[in-house]
Amino acid sequence: MKRRNRDLVLFNLSALDVLATATGVFVLLTVLMMPYFRKTLEAHAELADVRASVEQLEAEVEGVRRATAEEAAAAAEISVEAQATEAAAAQRRAATKQLKQEAERARSSADQDEQLVASLEQDYDKRIIEALDLVFVIDTTASMRPVIRDLSLSMSGIVRVLQRLVPSLRVAVVAYRDHDTGAGWTVRSLPPTPTSSSMAEVQAFVDWLKRAIRSSRTPREAVYAGLREALSLPLRPGAKQSIIVIGDAAPHRNEERRTLDLARRYVRSGSERSVSALFVDTPAYRLYGTGDRNFFAALARTGGGEFNAHSGGMIEGVLLSVLDTR
């Protein structure tokens, strides 16, 4: 009897079919999913491009920020420069305005000078005084600042008027302060100087007085020291000698009588000598003054000169003190 074949067959047609089918399904699914795989790759690539674009944009933004900051700094600097330029322009405008005002005052002063000279020439001969030594003795403490400025502006006018009336004119200036100013000196002087040849020296000294002003701690000043310095100057014996004391404060009380005695002895020693007083009514005098005006009036009486209160032009006050117009 023939034996039956018992060999085990692991793969038969049905199993191969299943395997083939599965492989086909896998291939089919791969083919179907391929576009999605491609899109994912493209998405990653686009994302990388976006990141690169964002980084580039951030770099550009940072560059713009830096440029903006630099422009803002430059604009601030330009603004500061513009403000400085505007301030300088404002100062120039103010200086120009002041110069115009001073020129107008000088023009007005010159007109007044001409009128005053014409009036004097109608009444007096030009040679009424052959030679004149004129000495200004002026307080240079802080309260006198406006008066010193006025004298500086008027000095050329004073000299111009007197030169038309006096053939030989010399001007001296004595500046005095007080002993407590701590400025190193109490009295400084310019000796008698011919105005015909050295007027610039006179003007320069008077201009310097504006820078020499110092404050004093007491309401009285060193008038005695100033007058004593004036009397020690080399004045011409044959010339008319006119000393004009200009101030707003009397001497210290222990020097009042000595100052008056000094003026009295001076005028008694010559017929053509006088001490006049030009009193200045300053705010300091109104606040602290005690008999200052009376002292200046007494000084003019003792010195045989004229007493004037400085309320108008400096030129007129000086001329009234120098010339005998009575």
Q: How far apart are CA 263 and CA 243, in angstroms?
A: 10
Confidence category of residue 38, pLDDT binned at 50, 70, 90: low
Residue 92 confidence (pLDDT)? 76
pTM, entire model? 0.64
Buried residues in 200-214 as b, exposed as e (16+ CB within 10 A): eebbebbeebeeebe
Structure token digits, residue 57: 């944009």
The bridge status of strand 187-194 relative to strand 168-176 is antiparallel
Residue 326 confidence (pLDDT)? 45
Residue 69, pLDDT > 90, answer: no
**H/E element, 276:** strand 273-279
Q: How far apart are CA 212 and CA 140, in angstroms?
A: 7
Q: How far apart are CA 209 and CA 193, in angstroms?
A: 17
Tell me the pLDDT tens digit for each residue of 165-208.
888 999 999 999 888 766 678 999 999 999 999 999 999 999 99
Across residues 249-263, what is the average pLDDT?
94
Distance, first Cα to last Cα, the chain: 190
Residue 99, pLDDT > 80, answer: no
Residue 325 confidence (pLDDT)? 44
Instruction: Give the chain's count of helices (H) and strands (E).
Output: 8, 6
Residue 322 confidence (pLDDT)? 75
Residue 261 confidence (pLDDT)? 97
